[in-house]
Structure 1
Amino acid sequence: MQIFLADASAFMPFNPQTYFSHTIDTAQQIESFNAERRISVAFRPVSGLTPSLTFEGGQSSSLSLWQTTSRSGFLTVPNDDLEVFTVRFVTDGSMVRRDHREQHIGRPGHAMMVSFDAMRSEEASADFAAVSGTVTRTALAAAHTFLEKPKRQGHLPRFEPVVDATGLPLQNLMRTMKRVVGQLREGVQTSDLVFPLLEEIMVYRLLTAWPREDLDRVPSGPVGPQPIKRAKAYIDGHLAEKILLSDVASAAGVGVRRLQLVFKGELGKTPVQFILERRLDRVRADLKHANDDGASIGTIATRWGFTHMGDFGRRYRKRFGEVPSVTRRG
């Protein structure tokens, strides 16, 4: 798992793990897990109940993402004092988050976004389930700069701690988080060029979807043809490499949010859709000449960054109306 920032080594609050999965069924397992200090919180069982807790996910040096289920409920207290934000969508049960000055309650239909360094404890109810993510303040501020180009570098908006999560933007964010956890479970290869875009989009969706008090104004009005020309030229020149929206926006000379608006306005699609379509076009062109070099469909798909064949096949059929093998035979 990788964060999209250029220098993640400047802040290393997490121990990078491509994928982790833990199941805790006894008090002794809780004690052993806490002693190893694998994560930034310590677990406590609910008094009088046999613990039942499972969580899985992955983390880079600046971003952690995981899903949790628990029949018994549990308590957590921080192990470390980290400058990070935790985002949580509770899908079953409830969670009480106690900070030094106030408390917040997460339940289905609502989402929480709170600063980790203010936390005293969290208490999950019985039959609890949630998808959660933690991102460093530095990474979030850098993404905000790429997205909106605020007047102050390193500035972060003031986010609402508990919000209604039934609207489409936050539902999309939750689905993206779940999808990323699912792909971590399946395994992400270094040659996968789709996953880094998905991870980046997740952070941008967080910034754009979450209600806040001091939203920076996004420049409005038309722009000249040069930004989109520069963006398309950069994309076409780097299709076989990892492409991030922050890179495309820098090449175009605009912020990421402005880049997204320009693509939707001029092309009727997002930059990510444009990138994936361009890569699928390259796959199709190679398939038509595959008999010349004997390359398999999987080899050609991987050449252009598609390592999950099921996902690749669905995208290919949607774009061209046929399966890759038909293209190759034709």
Structure 2
Amino acid sequence: MQILLSERSRVFERADPHAVSGYVNQHVGNHCLRMPSHGHPEASLNHRKFASLDLCRISYGGAVRVTSPALESIFHLQVLLNGHCLWRGAGQEHYLEPGELLLINPDDEVDLTYSADCEKFILKIPTAVLEGICAEQRWLHPRQGVRFTENRYRLGELEGFVNLLGMVCMEAEASERLPRVEEHYQQIVASKLLTLLSTNVSRECLASPLAAFERIDDYIERNLKLDIDIEELARQSKMSLRSLYALFERHAQSTPRQYIRQRKLERIRASLADPTCNVRNVTELALDYGFLHLGRFSESYRQQFGELPSETFKRRG
């Protein structure tokens, strides 16, 4: 198996397990450590922060039970390196062996009992990272958030994942840390988890970018009289703001806001020019479409159509 955090990341070696537990509570996540009252176990801990991730390699030197309430905004992934572990949760029990991976969702309580010779590698990843990947890829998940539907795997079943963890650990221990590289690796780790493990995320093939733009254009057309919020438009389109702006640049050569203003002006012009359309005056029509500054509206109209809105209105006869 790949080396997951070397001695370069050592924080504690042969230390009091409660001291190690206190460090974990302060820097990684809250938990409660229960140990037998007899003996003098010695614990070790390697730890690195990497972008928004926490990487830990830990052994307690004695049989311990670790419990924690739901971590709420954190996914807890651990790989058993040595020894054995009993996981309890949702009315179930699993015995984990070396080379097995356990994934705990943010709303699951933690209840783990380790053998005295146990050593584990822990990856903690914020929910925002995984949900950000879904937004970027336009993958869908239920409103309550991303969840893993199976929590136990053998590393050999997850193609390339252990090698990826090894590379992340090497980068975390590099003498020169580059934030952009760390963000890049973080995105890869999150994407791998979402594609290799069973989740509630739908990754069905999406329609072409042109079809996506046409759906957005239809939404704009149906809501032209409203003040269309760009962030809401992105949510309706199930994409990130960056992806939305890229889509408009590709298909409309403008920003979403510019495009919406252009479509409003085109609708106003069509109404002003149509004798069958019930328009009392230019001001009323402009206000209907959200143009509150009439001087700016007239200037934008003139720039787009080469005449003032009053001139268009007069020609309708």
TM normalised by structure 1 equals 0.51
| Structure 1 residue corresponding to 2:204, chosen from 174, 197, 217 | 217
Task: Compute the displacement of 1:149 (Å).
Answer: 3.1
Question: Over residues 187-208 of structure 1, what are the superposed CA-to-partner deviations in whole Å (9 max), with x where a residue is unaligned?
Answer: 4424x64333122211111111
| Structure 1 residue corresponding to 2:167, chosen from 148, 171, 179 | 179
| Structure 1 residue corresponding to 2:113, chosen from 86, 107, 123 | 123
Determine the C-alpha separation between the residues in 1 that align with 2:171 and 2:197: 24
Determine the C-alpha separation between the residues in 2 that align with 1:253 and 1:130: 44
**Equivalent in the alignment of 1:146:** 136
**Equivalent in the alignment of 1:57:** 47
Please tell me the residue identity of whatever aligns with 2:197. W
Query: Number of residue pairs matched?
Result: 210
Determine the C-alpha separation between the residues in 1 that align with 2:145 and 2:88: 26
| Structure 2 residue corresponding to 1:204, chosen from 179, 191, 195 | 191
**Equivalent in the alignment of 1:111:** 101
Determine the C-alpha separation between the residues in 1 that align with 2:74 and 2:17: 24
**Equivalent in the alignment of 1:95:** 85
**Equivalent in the alignment of 2:127:** 137
For 1:185-264, list aligned pairs within 5 A. Answer: 185-190=173-178, 193-212=180-199, 215-219=202-206, 253=247
Determine the C-alpha separation between the residues in 1 that align with 2:116 and 2:187: 33
**Equivalent in the alignment of 2:304:** none
Determine the C-alpha separation between the residues in 1 that align with 2:115 and 2:155: 20
Task: Compute the displacement of 1:148 (Å).
Answer: 3.8
Q: Does the 8 A contact of 2:50 with 2:172 survive in 1?
A: no
| Structure 2 residue corresponding to 1:159, chosen from 146, 149, 160 | 149
Which secondary structure does the structure 2 equivalent of 1:104 belong to? strand
Determine the C-alpha separation between the residues in 2 that align with 1:116 and 1:152: 15
In structure 2, stretches of 5+ residues that fail to align are 1-7, 211-239, 249-317
Question: Over residues 155-190 of structure 1, what are the superposed CA-to-partner deviations in whole Å (9 max), with x where a residue is unaligned?
Answer: 4254311123312xx242222223222322334424
Q: Does the 8 A contact of 2:209 with 2:247 survive in 1?
A: no
Determine the C-alpha separation between the residues in 2 that align with 1:143 and 1:48: 47
Determine the C-alpha separation between the residues in 2 that align with 1:149 and 1:251: 18
Q: Does the 8 A contact of 1:99 with 1:121 survive in 2?
A: yes
Please tell me the residue identity of whatever aligns with 2:131. A
Determine the C-alpha separation between the residues in 1 that align with 2:205 and 2:134: 12
Determine the C-alpha separation between the residues in 2 that align with 1:107 and 1:156: 27
**Equivalent in the alignment of 1:82:** 72
CA change 1:113–1:81 in 2 (3 A) is closer
Task: Compute the displacement of 1:115 (Å).
Answer: 2.1
Task: Compute the displacement of 1:100 (Å).
Answer: 5.5
Q: Does the 8 A contact of 2:74 with 2:125 survive in 1?
A: yes
TM normalised by structure 2 equals 0.53
**Equivalent in the alignment of 2:301:** none
In structure 1, stretches of 5+ residues that fail to align are 1-18, 225-245, 255-330
Task: Compute the displacement of 1:20 (Å).
Answer: 6.1
**Equivalent in the alignment of 1:299:** none
Which secondary structure does the structure 2 equivalent of 1:204 belong to? helix
Determine the C-alpha separation between the residues in 1 that align with 2:22 and 2:100: 33
Determine the C-alpha separation between the residues in 2 that align with 1:81 and 1:70: 22
Task: Compute the displacement of 1:250 (Å).
Answer: 6.7
**Equivalent in the alignment of 2:237:** none
CA change 1:68–1:176 in 2 (3 A) is farther
Larger-Rg structure: 2
Determine the C-alpha separation between the residues in 2 that align with 1:247 and 1:68: 40
Determine the C-alpha separation between the residues in 2 that align with 1:46 and 1:176: 36
